Structure 1
Amino acid sequence: MKRILVPVDGSDSAMHALRHAIARARESQAEIHVLHVEPPPHYQEVRLYAMREDIARIHQEACQRLLQDAKDELQREKMPHAAHFAEGEVAHTIARFAESQQIDEIVMGTRGMTAFGQMLLGSVASRVVHFVAIPVTLVK
């Protein structure tokens, strides 16, 4: 069965990419994997207000809520799917996940970064395209 990866970040762009992936998956009877990647939390930024374990738990819960919208959409559409969460540098983590899960295609949104911002920082999408050897479809 073909596997399509859709990285999600809670943005409208990511949800639009998910809907596009659902349409593609129906055509090819593919399974959709949604992945949310978070950079590791910066514990040093939170002073004495919470314990490190509490911060990690709150962070994990927030990420799971973010994934829930994508899972709800996939369940409504009765699509075979799996949801995943990972921590790490976003573009590298998406690429490593795609390789480890034998993903056939990535469908991802663009966040609308300005051309100047992309020139300075690069976008996650453009870096993913650079890191993987499988097709990547970018959805506006």
Structure 2
Amino acid sequence: MDILVPVDGSDCSFRALEFAADMARRYEADLHVVHFSDAETDATDEIVNRAQNVLDAQGVDAVPEVTTDVDLEFRPGDKVGDDILELVTDYGYDHVVMGHHGSGTIERAILGSAAETVLRSERVPITVIP
């Protein structure tokens, strides 16, 4: 089993990473961690380092990757959701584990939600962690 975990630096994305790391250990699955950004910055490095610390603490052999080939200017949640689905299709991931901020209706209408985009696609099983 191949599990994909997108992290965005939020606490809920790191809770999702901890859940996915435990799941990967239990089911002897391969874990793939990705962070989407339109540019690599100190904040990006901080997110990757924090993700690596979670993986190390959980004893999971994985290296977080950064994808910068995205345009996050308009409806970034939907765009990232589409990019996650593209990764699922391209690499054949069996499961996605994601955090969700629990935004309200207005925030979703303006920003979209990556987790909702993946969930509504029904292309891959997804576990959503609040």
Q: Is the 8 A contact 1:107 1:138 kept in 2?
A: yes
Matched AA of 2:127: T
For 1:83 and 1:98, locate their aligned partners in 2 and report how far apart those are by CA, in whole Å: 16
Question: Normalized against structure 2, the TM-score is what?
Answer: 0.81
In structure 1, the residue matched to 2:17 is 18
Match of 1:103 among 86, 93, 102: 93
Give the residue type in structure 2 aligned to 1:37.
F
* 1:85 lines up with 2:66 in the alignment: yes
Deviations 1:48-97 (Å, cap 9, x if unpaired)?
xxxxxxxx5xx344323211111111012211213211121311211112
Computed over aligned residues only, the root mean square deviation of the Cα atoms, in angstroms, reads 1.9
Unmatched 5+ residue regions in structure 1? 41-55
Distance in 2 (CA, whole Å) between partners of 1:78 and 1:11 is 22
Structure 1 ranges of 4+ moved more than 4 A = none
The yes-or-no answer on 1:37 pairing with 2:27 is: no
Contact 1:37 1:94 in 2 (8 A): no
* Structure of larger gyration radius: 1
Which residue matches 1:117? 107
- Which stretches in structure 2 are left out of the alignment for 5+ residues? 71-78
Separation of aligned partners in 1, 2:102 and 2:25: 27
Deviations 1:73-130 (A, max 9, x none): 1012211213211121311211112222221100000012113322454311111223
Q: Which residues in structure 2 correspond to 1:3-82 (within 5 Å)?
A: 3-38=2-37, 40=38, 59-82=40-63
Residues 3-32 of structure 1: CA distance to partner in whole angstroms, max 9, x if unpaired?
111100110000111111122112211121
Separation in 2, partners of 1:93, 1:132: 15
- 1:82 alignment partner, SS class: coil
